[in-house]
Structure 1
Amino acid sequence: DGTNIVAHGRDAKKLAEAAATLGVPERVACAAGDIGERNTGEVLVRVAVERFGGVDVLVNNAGTFAPKPFVEVTEEELDHFLDGNLRGTYLTTQAVVRRMQKQGRGGAIVNIGTVLIDHAIGGFPASAPLASKGGVHALTHSLAAELAPDRIRVNMVAPGVVRTPLHAQVNVDAFGGIALLNRVGEGREIAEAVRYLVGAEFVTGHILPVDGGFVSGRA
């Protein structure tokens, strides 16, 4: 559809392979790095400006997730989730917002959270990643209010259980029954929700559940 993309990932080789699947090399630039480090967001912005002239959209979809009982989580593991999920989103968004404000034409930011923030599953203990994602939920609301005068919209997609490599060690289909649609989600369905929020010019500060009816079924 003519969209230019700056793709990010920790592994440069895997990132290049993923970018190649899009089939439009002239519209895709890659920037590998640790999302939890401040300079990574600055590099992403610099690449976007140099290759495509600016930044209009940010999708914060980098993250990490792994279930583990609360009392077994180590300090190092907690730091891992806070860095990858919360710190990375915060610092990358800072770099992008500075550029959007300089451009003066508004923009759209879409964060990726989870419906498990408000609707935890007893048999799926994940306090560390959920604590970090909870911070991203709060950040979404706060930035939507703060950045509205700049016409920068900030929203979030909150997936339910989705089939992704993050859950490679878990039989995700076993959780399909918790959703009204009796199945888990697929990555493309999350992407469709992100695309909607990017283009929804009168929507900001919204948390959009994409969960197959999980939240409604528990209400």
Structure 2
Amino acid sequence: MNALDLFRLDGKTAVVTGGGRGLGRYMAEALSDAGANVVVCSRKQEPLDEVKADIEAAGGRALAVAADITEEGDVEKVVSAAESEFGGVDILVNNSGATWGAPTEEMPPERFDHVMKVNVRGTFLMSQAVGRRMIERGSGGKIINIASVAGLVGGNPKYMQTIGYNSSKGAIVNMTRDLATGWARYDINVNAIAPGWFPTKMSGGLIEKFGDEMLADIPLNRFGTPEELKGVIVFLASPAAAYMTGQTVVVDGGTTAW
């Protein structure tokens, strides 16, 4: 097999949560470029329809399903729609996320709970629903969780006072390990990506306000670009990463190397 063929996803179907904007959109486009059918889901239908239209305009196949991944019924709706349209799910990208900023001593408990619900419960419910199908089908699969460097280190109090988000992403890192060891016997690879600072709607406000301080913490002295994440998601979703599981790939411009 040609080395580049290891990265092809032709005939595979990928579900990308939070696929209507930001990193989720970039990753959905990348998976489509590699040949996969793509199902994008998030709470709002309009941005999903835009992603679907763009993927189809580029020659790909896509499905857009509005859903709240913290609700079991909505999760089942997404997975069932993927099965009906494309026959099953081979790749799951758990990207949906929420955050809330406040000093820890002032963090409203209900906001902490909401962030944990979306980021941790949502990832668990999607992984459970898709994993069950992968086990029943018997042909393995790939699950890729989107963690964060915030789940690996403490937040810089100058600009990153987000204890709920940081805690949730740490949980995702260890959930990835547990899913990987538990489902390895079913040939299901489970890995995570821990992005650093990429300009998105979620991070835009912080970057606008604290950009200089944030850049000072990045050895490459710049923020990430969509292309610098697209290759990583394709790699983890593809046969090229068949012997990787339980790992967290850090894409942060060197931030955690200090």
State whether TM-score is above 0.5: yes
CA RMSD of the aligned region, Å? 1.5
Task: State whether structure 2 residue 53 is matched by structure 1 residue 20.
Answer: yes
Work out whether residues 41 and 93 of structure 1, in 8 Å CA contact, stay in contact via their aligned partners in 2: no
What corresponds to 1:188 in structure 2? 227
Alignment of 1:82-161 (within 5 A): 82-120=116-154, 121-123=156-158, 124-161=160-197
Change (3 A) 1:13 1:63: same
Q: Following TM superposition, by how much is the alpha carbon of 1:24 offset from its aligned partner in structure 2, in angstroms? A: 5.1
Could you tell me the percent identity over the aligned residues?
Answer: 35
The amino acid of 1:91's aligned partner reads: L
Work out whether residues 110 and 157 of structure 1, in 8 Å CA contact, stay in contact via their aligned partners in 2: yes
What corresponds to 1:49 in structure 2? 83
The amino acid of 2:193's aligned partner reads: V
Distance 2:58 2:85 in 1: 14
Q: Following TM superposition, by how much is the alpha carbon of 1:46 offset from its aligned partner in structure 2, in angstroms? A: 0.4
What corresponds to 1:166 in structure 2? 202
Distance 1:12 1:4 in 2: 18
Q: Secondary structure of the equivalent of 2:246?
A: coil
The amino acid of 1:194's aligned partner reads: I
> Which deviations, in whole Å up to 9, do the C-alpha atoms of 1:31-50 show, x marking residues without a partner?
10111111222111101110
Q: Secondary structure of the equivalent of 2:194?
A: strand
Q: Following TM superposition, by how much is the alpha carbon of 1:188 offset from its aligned partner in structure 2, in angstroms? A: 3.3
The amino acid of 1:122's aligned partner reads: P
When normalised by structure 1's length, the TM-score is 0.94
Q: Secondary structure of the equivalent of 1:203?
A: coil
Residues 14-23 or 102-111, more deviating:
14-23
Q: Following TM superposition, by how much is the alpha carbon of 1:112 offset from its aligned partner in structure 2, in angstroms? A: 0.4
Task: Give 4+ residue runs of structure 1 displaced > 4 Å after superposition.
Answer: none
Q: Secondary structure of the equivalent of 2:139?
A: coil
What corresponds to 2:28 in structure 1? none
Q: Secondary structure of the equivalent of 1:21?
A: helix
Distance 1:52 1:117 in 2: 34
Q: How many pairs were matched up?
A: 217
Q: Secondary structure of the equivalent of 1:101?
A: helix
Work out whether residues 137 and 156 of structure 1, in 8 Å CA contact, stay in contact via their aligned partners in 2: yes
Work out whether residues 70 and 118 of structure 2, in 8 Å CA contact, stay in contact via their aligned partners in 1: yes
Q: Following TM superposition, by how much is the alpha carbon of 1:25 offset from its aligned partner in structure 2, in angstroms? A: 7.5
Residues 5-14 or 172-181, more deviating:
172-181
The amino acid of 2:41's aligned partner reads: H
Work out whether residues 66 and 167 of structure 1, in 8 Å CA contact, stay in contact via their aligned partners in 2: no
Q: Say which of 60, 71, 75 aligns to 1:37.
A: 71
Work out whether residues 100 and 112 of structure 2, in 8 Å CA contact, stay in contact via their aligned partners in 1: no
Q: Following TM superposition, by how much is the alpha carbon of 1:9 offset from its aligned partner in structure 2, in angstroms? A: 1.1
What corresponds to 2:18 in structure 1? none
What corresponds to 2:26 in structure 1? none
When normalised by structure 2's length, the TM-score is 0.80
What corresponds to 2:218 in structure 1? 179
Distance 1:57 1:117 in 2: 23
What corresponds to 2:237 in structure 1? 198
Distance 2:199 2:60 in 1: 30
